[in-house]
Amino acid sequence: MQETRIAVLGCGGRMGRRLLAVTLQSDGCRLVGGSVRSESPLLGQDLGRLAGHGDIGVESSANTREVLADCEVAIDFTTPEATAQHAAMAAETGTALVVGTTGMTDDDLAALQQAAERIPVVYGRNMSLGVNLLALLVEQAARALDASYDIEIVEMHHRHKVDAPSGTALLLGEAAAAGRSVALAEVERQGRSGITGSRPAGEIGFASLRGGDVPGDHSVILAGDGERIELGHRASNRDVFALGAVKAARWVKGRPAGLYGMLDVLGLGAAQQA
C-alpha cells in the first residue's frame, strides 16, 4: 500500500500534537511536515518529539507554503483566519486539504469553496466518526417526530474553547433542521435569559457549558408530552478527532477537486463538487 504523505498545519497546539502522534501511529501514513507560527518557541523542533515519540528527522517550519508543497495532504485545525489563508496556498500548491477548524464564518467557508474549485477539500466541524453518525440519527429522528417534540442541543467543552455554540452543536442543529425541512437560521435559539415567554413550536435551542478539560460532550433532546428522547456523544480524548482527520486524509488523496464532508469519507453521503 502506497503511503500518504501528510503534514499538520499548526502542529504545536494540543490538537496539532495529537494529529502528529496519530499520523505517526497510523498505517499507510507518512508524516512529512508541520507548520508553526514564526514566533513560536517550537519552531525547528523535531515533529516526533512534539508528538511524544522519538525524533523522526523532520522539523517544524514557519514556511507554510513550503510545508504544503512537500506533502500530498495537509490537515488544518488552526484558526478561521489562518485556515482561509492556508486554503488559498494549498490551491496554489495543488495540495489536498482536510479542515477541522471551528468557528468558521461565511467568508472563511467561501475561501474553502474557492480552493475546492482546484483541489479536494474535506471540511468537517467535527471529525469524529461517531459524531457524524449521530448527525444522521438526529436527522432521522427529527424527520419522524413532528414539531410537538421540542429539540434542545446541549454541549460542554473545556474552559479554553473560544466559540459557542460549538461547531458540532451547529452540525447537529443543521441535521435536526434538515429533518424538518427548515433552515436552522429560521428556528434556532442560542441561549435564554430573563423573561423569555413560552417556547415557540419548532424552535431548536442551544445551551453551551464550559469547564475543566472536557474534550466535547453533546446531547440532542427531543422532548414531547409524556416522553423524552436523548441522543448523545461523549469524547473522552482528542484522539477521536485526530483519527477521523487522518482517515479523511487517506481518503481524500487522489480525489477530484471538490468540497467533501465526513459523510463522504464514511461512504454515507454524496460529495458536493465545487
CA quadruple 44, 48, 49, 50: dihedral positive or negative?
A: positive
Q: Is the pLDDT of residue 121 over 60?
A: yes
Grid coordinates standing for 82?
Answer: 489562518
Residue 124 assigned ligand-binding role = yes
CATH 3.40.50.720 residue ranges for the chain: 4-123+238-265
Active site residue 157: yes
Q: What would the pLDDT profile of 51-110 be if each residue is shown by its tens digit?
A: 998 999 999 999 999 999 999 999 999 999 999 999 999 999 999 999 999 888 999 999
pTM assigned to the model: 0.82
Res. 125 pLDDT band, cuts 50 70 90: confident
Catalytic residue among 53, 160, 161, 247: 161
Q: Is the pLDDT of residue 145 over 80?
A: yes
Grid coordinates standing for 228?
Answer: 423524552
Superfamily (CATH) of domain 129-235: Dihydrodipicolinate Reductase; domain 2 (3.30.360.10)
Q: What is the CA radius of gyration of the chain?
A: 19
Q: Which residue has the higher pLDDT, 271 or 53?
A: 53
| Residues 101, 13 contacting (CB under 8 angstroms) | no
**Distances in whole angstroms, Cα of residue 24 to Cα of each of 28, 54, 72, 167, 249:** 10, 11, 15, 27, 13
**CATH architecture, domain defined by 4-123+238-265:** 3-Layer(aba) Sandwich (3.40)
Active site residue 253: no
**Total length of the chain:** 274
% the chain with pLDDT above 90: 88
Q: Is the pLDDT of residue 270 over 80?
A: no
The phi, psi pair for 131, rounded to 5°, reads: -65, -40
Distance of CA 211 to the CA centre of its chain: 20
Residue 71 assigned ligand-binding role = no
SS3 6: strand
Residue 160 assigned ligand-binding role = no
pLDDT given at position 272: 41
Res. 1 pLDDT band, cuts 50 70 90: low
CATH 3.30.360.10 residue ranges for the chain: 129-235
Catalytic residue among 53, 86, 157, 233: 157
